[in-house]
Amino acid sequence: MKHILILICIGAFSFNTLQAQKVIHPHHNNNVKAGSWRVLGTVHAKHTADHDALNVPGPHDYYRKIKFKVTDSPVNIQRLVARYDDGAPENINTRVEIPKGGESRVIDLKGGKRKLKSIEFWYDTKGFLNGKADVTVFAMK
């Protein structure tokens, strides 16, 4: 009986946490509502690399904001380039250090009526003993 009560409490807590974040995964729903965060993808930042690119899965959409969530190891994102459907790049100097398990600030995009196609970012990982950092990119309409 005690185990069942503990499982019910854990399930209720998990459900409330998932509802509060309003994260939409691209393979579940392509019609993302404004104000909802959508997972664009995850890259594995290694100590042997200094930048990665994330191609936004189609169908491409208009996004106003992005943010990064880091797991497994801290990472320092120095700058990023957002590329749109017309090929034009937007260079963004970020210089943000994200701790293990942390998130970046929300970064405003100036895409306007351009659809986001890719995000390329330059980084360095902190602490060789911490391993690689998994960097998940979120976007909001």
Terminal Cα distance for the chain, rounded: 45
Instruction: Tell me what the pLDDT averaged over the chain comes to.
Output: 78
**How far apart (Å, rounded) are the C-alpha atoms in residues 92 and 40?**
18
Q: What pLDDT sits at residue 94? A: 86
Q: What pLDDT sits at residue 133? A: 84
Highest mean pLDDT out of 7-21, 27-41, 54-68: 54-68
Residue of 95, 99, 94, 97 whose CA lies nearest to 130: 99
- CA distances to 34, 36, 58, 120 from 16, in Å: 21, 16, 30, 33
pLDDT class for 3, splitting at 50, 70, 90? Answer: low
The 3 state secondary structure assigned to 2-31 is HHHHHHHHHHHHHHHHHHHHCEECCCCCCC
Q: Is the pLDDT of residue 4 over 60?
A: no
* pLDDT, tens digit (0-9, with 9 covering 90-100), for 108-128: 998 777 899 999 999 887 665
| Structural domains in the chain plus CATH codes | 23-140 (2.60.120.1090)
Q: Is the pLDDT of residue 30 over 60?
A: no
* pLDDT, tens digit (0-9, with 9 covering 90-100), for 78-104: 899 999 988 889 999 888 889 989 999
CB 47 within 8 A of CB 132: yes
pLDDT class for 33, splitting at 50, 70, 90? Answer: low
